[in-house]
Structure 1
Amino acid sequence: MTKKLMQAAYYEKQGAAKNVIQYQQMPIPQPGAGEVRVKIHASGVNPSDTKSRAGWGGIEKKFERVIPHQDGAGVIESVGENVDKSRVGERVWIFEGQLGRAFGTGAEYIVIPSEKAIILPDNTSFAEGACLGVPAMTAHRTIFADGAVEGQTILVTGGAGAVGNYAIQWGKYGGATVITTVSSPEKAKIAEVAGADYIINYKTEDVVKRIQEITGKKRGINRIVDVDFSQNINVADAVLRTNGGVAMYSANPDDAPALPILSLMLRNIVIRTILVYTMPQDAKEAAIKDITAALKAGKLHHNIAQLFSLTELASAHEAQDSGKMIGKAIVEIS
């Protein structure tokens, strides 16, 4: 007998996770033209998922019922018209699963455009595959948006965070020397595993002085990947060399920093904002290509903080929102 229903987590109004997330059976979706249906084995939680659920910064709910989460991994079970039937059975990781759509990866099944289901190498688990979409693709863009980085020196702030951790790895993948900042010895160990060449505890060390000691120059940083540019402007101004740049990927609604415009302009500093959902298609394709190659070569490490079941999805959101979790929250779906 063909299974017709699936378990899903969803919300119909915005608010605190435990107040709005519900669980129930829903019809299994059918793939349309150009789409594939994936049996989800793992679903990744990102800040954008929990912010959308909470209505953070005035984000509006665009659908009556929302199954959350952009990222996930699983196996293609069926395909729609114009999709090669040989895709059935492929292990895949998913990106932008809920972008512009009501139903994301927080369920047993998802239907998505075929091009957003990327082959997952056998050496990578489903839980690891669910880490990739938002953080690994964002990090790739922050490192390579302005070209090759071989021989350069990069500063990654918040090197234990999901994006920052992948940014360290992409910097090393591209042949750069990577300096990162962290706030604790525990986070320093995570940054070390990612491959950072130098780790600075910004709680106990003078970041600018330490960077100058490492580089041997007053301003020796080529590029900065910044999780909190509004708070780190003075550091960026102090250490960026001429023709350097900052790639920022996170901000708050009320961030309105005063910039040292003249100082930055005199050195031709580029300030680049990154949002994975709206970055150019060629940048997404470049990230997917490098992610695939790096996975096959075993060169990407995935920092999973905690595993949850589907009926614990609300708890996974709370863990993400707590600010205490170091690494990714992954929802495993059997």
Structure 2
Amino acid sequence: MKAIGLTQFGGPEVLHLLDLPAPQARPGEIRIRVSAATVNPVDTMVRRGLAFVSDAAPPYVPGMEAAGVVDQIGEGTDTDLRIGDRVIAIAVVSGTHGAYAEQLVVPAESVVRAPVGATDIEAATLPMNGLTARMALDLLELPVGATVAITGAAGAVGGYAVQLAKADGLRVIADAALKDVQLVNDLGADVVLPRGESFPELVRKEVPDGVDGLVDTAGIAQSVARAVRDGGRVATSAPGAALATERGIVTERTFVPNYARHRVALDQLRQLAEQGRLTLRVARTLPVEQAIEAHRLLEIGGLPGRIVLTF
């Protein structure tokens, strides 16, 4: 099968075409013929040797989420999926096991039907990004009516966090650059404040005692934690984030592989997307052969959604 990967770590230029043996689905697994794979920040970490490479030998294939069709089901696998079904999946990268490939094998718990009405390109942006947002909110354990602050709200994970928080019955205070204020408002945030150093103080003007929880998708938890009330909770995506306990605040890190087999949560995301309660945002599509350009664009930043590679 054709895949895009690397044999040495470095910049986008290390990505190149690989010819790999097609993986086979074993009992409990499903193989997908991939039509679309999303480009995410963690993919650049794989490329630089900073994530998901310690226990595997090269070559490495990045990619943690994909959409396509089922083309093989392992013997005895407990699933209601059938050959030819349109699906989405989350992949935990290891060696050549990544979504930048024509075929991807995943545990049956990591794959669900694609949202009806969404293209494969749109649907590919949901599994990993959506589960990351879902995990963050679950870690906060906030009751209905509580107030949550969300950083990076205009991003893919942040946008899902805003919409999932509203679906959970929470009040949302989000940050946004001036150009993204309307977008974040449209996602359903109750209050949108300017992003930057003043965000915590502006939050405190809205909620003098501080918010009940913070979902940090921008990796700035330490600098904005003062927006959280005493005894509140923080969920951050920042790699290696310190687990601060000042003022009784509990800080935890989202690590989406822990949700990779949470089929119920993934299917709930699918249902919300079908209902129009989750917005699938595609910034740009590129053929998989242009993965180098995709990584360059991602690292420049400022994209209103995700880049999706097509097969």
Q: TM (normalized to structure 1)? A: 0.83
Secondary structure, aligned partner of 1:50: helix
Cα separation, partners in 2 of 1:22 and 1:100, compared to 1, 3 Å: closer
Correspondence list, 1:144-183, <5 A: 144-182=138-176
Deviations 1:124-169 (A, max 9, x none): 2211221122211011111122435421111001111221111111
Deviations 1:214-251 (A, max 9, x none): 33xx214111111356x4535422x3234321111123
Match of 1:92 among 87, 101, 119: 87
Partners of 2:112 and 2:267 within 8 A in 1? no
Is it true that 1:70 corresponds to 2:50 in the alignment?
no
Match of 1:241 among 225, 229, 236: 229
Secondary structure, aligned partner of 1:193: helix
Match of 1:330 among 280, 294, 308: 308
Match of 2:255 among 250, 275, 282: 275
What is the CA–CA distance in structure 1 between the aligned matches of 2:38 and 2:164, rounded to whole Å?
A: 20
Partner residue in 2 for 1:287: 265
* Structure 1 letter corresponding to 2:203: I
Partners of 1:307 and 1:330 within 8 A in 2? yes
What is the CA–CA distance in structure 1 between the aligned matches of 2:235 and 2:49, rounded to whole Å?
A: 26
Partner residue in 1 for 2:130: 136
Match of 1:12 among 7, 20, 31: 7
Cα separation, partners in 2 of 1:194 and 1:318, compared to 1, 3 Å: same
Correspondence list, 1:24-39, <5 A: 24-39=18-33
Partners of 1:157 and 1:181 within 8 A in 2? yes
Partner residue in 1 for 2:214: 224
Shift of 1:271: 1.5
What is the CA–CA distance in structure 2 between the aligned matches of 1:199 and 1:116, rounded to whole Å?
A: 34
What is the CA–CA distance in structure 1 between the aligned matches of 2:83 and 2:27, rounded to whole Å?
A: 15
Secondary structure, aligned partner of 1:213: helix
* Structure 1 letter corresponding to 2:236: M
Secondary structure, aligned partner of 2:36: strand
What is the CA–CA distance in structure 2 between the aligned matches of 1:94 and 1:190, rounded to whole Å?
A: 27
* Structure 1 letter corresponding to 2:113: I
Deviations 1:249-271 (A, max 9, x none): 123x6x669x573xx13xxx221
Shift of 1:74: 0.4
Q: TM (normalized to structure 2)? A: 0.89
What is the CA–CA distance in structure 2 between the aligned matches of 1:85 and 1:242, rounded to whole Å?
A: 46
What is the CA–CA distance in structure 2 between the aligned matches of 1:10 and 1:159, rounded to whole Å?
A: 30
* Structure 2 letter corresponding to 1:224: L
Match of 2:183 among 173, 181, 190: 190
What is the CA–CA distance in structure 2 between the aligned matches of 1:260 and 1:244, rounded to whole Å?
A: 10
Secondary structure, aligned partner of 2:37: strand
Partner residue in 2 for 1:3: none
Match of 1:316 among 270, 275, 294: 294
What is the CA–CA distance in structure 1 between the aligned matches of 2:18 and 2:42, rounded to whole Å?
A: 23
Q: Percent identity?
A: 26
Partner residue in 1 for 2:275: 297
Secondary structure, aligned partner of 2:256: coil
Partners of 1:149 and 1:171 within 8 A in 2? no
Match of 2:118 among 113, 124, 130: 124
Shift of 1:72: 0.3
Cα separation, partners in 2 of 1:317 and 1:149, compared to 1, 3 Å: farther
* Structure 2 letter corresponding to 1:274: T
Cα separation, partners in 2 of 1:29 and 1:249, compared to 1, 3 Å: same
What is the CA–CA distance in structure 2 between the aligned matches of 1:152 and 1:286, rounded to whole Å?
A: 24
How many residue pairs get aligned? The number is 310
Secondary structure, aligned partner of 1:87: coil
Cα separation, partners in 2 of 1:153 and 1:32, compared to 1, 3 Å: same
